[in-house]
Structure 1
Amino acid sequence: MSAPIVFIDGDQGTTGLQIHDRLRNRTDISLFTLAAGERKDARRRAEAINACDIAILCLPDAAAREAVGAIVNPAVRVIDASSAHRTQSGWTYGFPEMAPEQAALIANASRVTNPGCYPTGAVGLLRPLAQAGLIPGNYPISIHAVSGYSGRGRAGVEEHEGAGADRAPMYQVYGLELAHKHTPEIQQHAGLAQRPIFVPAYGAFRQGIVLTVPLVLELLAPGVDGATVHACLARHYAGSTHVRVLPMPESGAVKHLDPQVLNGTNDMQLSVFHDAEHGHVLLSAVFDNLGKGASGAAVQNLDLMLAR
């Protein structure tokens, strides 16, 4: 039996390059990409996607929709790393740890949409709490996240590593119109009754994310405290290979969160910090925006689909 053909469409961007690096030495698949002169040839791209078993799309949203629209072979399965299909029906959300049944849904899906980098952390923290009823539907959720500049794609890499790198900003908050494209994705897949406030930022480091969500205990369900929140997350991710909830005694000793500590992995670490005196809790997620937040997640989804 021949190895499944995996076609990466858009392998020259930051996500595509890392997916290619993670897959290039594998012998259980036949990895295929287009030559430089064929990447903008619509006919050649359509031929390639219809000849593969699984296509991984690392494209801008419009190009990803175009690629999916070109599929006429019903046997072709897709992992879309763009944001084009993350809130669309008919697509399976590619966050295997999101729910007990999610890995099986991904394994059997023909259309999988990779989560966004920021939503991976936000959904990972909030969905278990919302499902358990610990966060009321009217709670005003706010999310702050800092990503490495590779989150901007090639433009961010060029700004910080190119000729004018000495003029690149050390830190920049963006999305100040409060309409970041990841916000509807977070709301839908975290199961939030109302739209959260999401404020992202870029730092002067290549990759990695720290995402935080503050909670005021008196606005949560009655009787909920830091230990309750932690127990809910720990129970949800018990036995998970790639998502770890830091034990409360360990989180009490943490003084800083390093966004780069899990770079190069497909892992995510969740923590719960609490101030019992003032009734405050801080949730945090640390992971690689190009690992669990993009390329690593795509490969994890690919492995689930191949194992079907």
Structure 2
Amino acid sequence: MSIPVVFIDGDQGTTGLQIHQRLQGRDDLQLVTLPAASRKDPERRAAAINACDIALLCLPDDAARAAVASISNPAVRVIDASSAHRTDPDWVYGFAQMSERHDEVIAHASRVSNPGCYPTGAVGLLRPLIDAGLVSRDYPISISAVSGYSGKGRAGVDEFEGPDAAQATPFQVYGLGLAHKHVPEIQQYSGLSERPVFVPSYGSFRQGIVLTIPLQLRLLAPGVTGARLHACLERHYAGSEFVEVVGMDEAKAMTGLDPRQLNDTDRLRLMVFENAGHVLLAAVFDNLGKGAAGAAVQNLNLMIAGA
């Protein structure tokens, strides 16, 4: 089999740079990017994308749609890291551990939409529990998450690391219109029938995410406990290379969660806390790792293996 040609369109943003760094030096693929002078040339970009085997799009939503529209070669496969196609039924959602054998679906897909950073944690926690019937599809879910400022992209890095960094707000809750673009994605792939409330925020650290979802046991089916929720997650992710479910005893001993604890890894750590009829589901991961570039590279590896 010939070595696949992988084209990164948009390798100068936070996600694109991370993907580029991860793929450099690999001898099982031929990595292609455009020189700076050609990055905004529609003809050069179209030629590059139609000459590759797999295109990795690290672009704003409208630019990603335009890039896909420029594809005339039916053999070209695409991984889109933007949110342009995440709820499109013609695209495969790129969270390999979402359900049984979903990695095989990704391996043979021609169009894969990389998950958003926040949805990675929310879907990772909720989908197994909803599929198992332990959390009802119409449960009034509320999600709170804090991300490192790199989640804003280059603008966030400039804000906190540029010449005016001293004036950067150390912590900011945003999405107060309760219409964050990740909400439809979370709802669709978690299996919820109702829109969740999602409250995101940025902190004054470069990367990392803590995402939490509170549940009240009195609103769940009779007999559902924190231990049952934990056991369900543990079964679902048993043997997973990238997803770890922390033991209940270990979680009980924790006094805090550092969003940076999995930085520079591609892992997702899930936890269940329980007390006095309340349960807190929690996820920790790197927004640039499992939440972006790491997931894209995992999907790329699956697609290369499935070719």
- TM-score bracket for this pair, using the shorter chain length: over 0.9
* Deviations 1:254-302, CA, capped at 9 Å, x for gaps: 1110101111110000000000xx2000000000000000000000000
CA distance in 1, matches of 2:187, 2:220: 18
Residue identity matched to 2:159: E
The residue that corresponds to 1:105 in the other structure is 105
The residue that corresponds to 1:267 in the other structure is 267
Residue correspondence of structure 1 range 4-43 to structure 2 within 5 A: 4-43=4-43
Deviation at 1:25, TM superposition (A): 1.3
- Using structure 1 for the length normalisation, give the TM-score: 0.99
Say which SS state the counterpart of residue 307 (structure 1) adopts. helix
The residue that corresponds to 2:305 in the other structure is 307
CA distance in 2, matches of 1:127, 1:194: 14
Structure 1 residue corresponding to 2:292, chosen from 273, 291, 294? 294
Residue correspondence of structure 1 range 51-90 to structure 2 within 5 A: 51-90=51-90
CA distance in 1, matches of 2:2, 2:245: 40
The residue that corresponds to 2:159 in the other structure is 159
Deviation at 1:2, TM superposition (A): 3.6
Aligned residues of 2:94 and 2:112 also touching (Cα < 8 A)? yes
The residue that corresponds to 2:229 in the other structure is 229
CA distance in 2, matches of 1:3, 1:101: 26
The residue that corresponds to 2:91 in the other structure is 91
* Deviations 1:106-153, CA, capped at 9 Å, x for gaps: 000000000000000000000011111111233110000000000000
The residue that corresponds to 1:280 in the other structure is 278
Aligned residues of 2:215 and 2:279 also touching (Cα < 8 A)? yes
CA distance in 1, matches of 2:167, 2:148: 16
Say which SS state the counterpart of residue 177 (structure 1) adopts. coil
The residue that corresponds to 2:174 in the other structure is 174
CA distance in 1, matches of 2:197, 2:267: 25
CA distance in 1, matches of 2:3, 2:277: 55
CA distance in 2, matches of 1:138, 1:307: 38
Please, which runs of 5 or more residues in structure 1 have no aligned partner?
none
Please, which runs of 5 or more residues in structure 2 have no aligned partner?
none
CA distance in 2, matches of 1:160, 1:174: 17
CA distance in 1, matches of 2:274, 2:89: 37
Residue identity matched to 1:249: D
CA distance in 2, matches of 1:6, 1:180: 31
Q: Percent identity?
A: 69
The residue that corresponds to 2:131 in the other structure is 131
The residue that corresponds to 2:120 in the other structure is 120
CA distance in 1, matches of 2:2, 2:98: 33
Say which SS state the counterpart of residue 21 (structure 2) adopts. helix
CA distance in 2, matches of 1:91, 1:254: 39
Residue identity matched to 1:270: L
Query: What is the RMSD computed on CA atoms of the aligned residues?
Result: 0.6
CA distance in 2, matches of 1:110, 1:221: 40
Residue identity matched to 1:231: A
Deviation at 1:222, TM superposition (A): 1.1
Deviation at 1:193, TM superposition (A): 1.0
Residue identity matched to 1:291: G
* Deviations 1:193-240, CA, capped at 9 Å, x for gaps: 100000000000000000000000000111101101101100100010
Say which SS state the counterpart of residue 144 (structure 1) adopts. strand
Q: Which runs of 4+ in 1 moved over 4 A?
A: none
Residue identity matched to 2:290: K
Aligned residues of 2:4 and 2:53 also touching (Cα < 8 A)? yes
Aligned residues of 2:137 and 2:191 also touching (Cα < 8 A)? no
- Using structure 2 for the length normalisation, give the TM-score: 0.99
Task: Note if 1:250 corresponds to 2:250.
Answer: yes
Say which SS state the counterpart of residue 199 (structure 2) adopts. strand
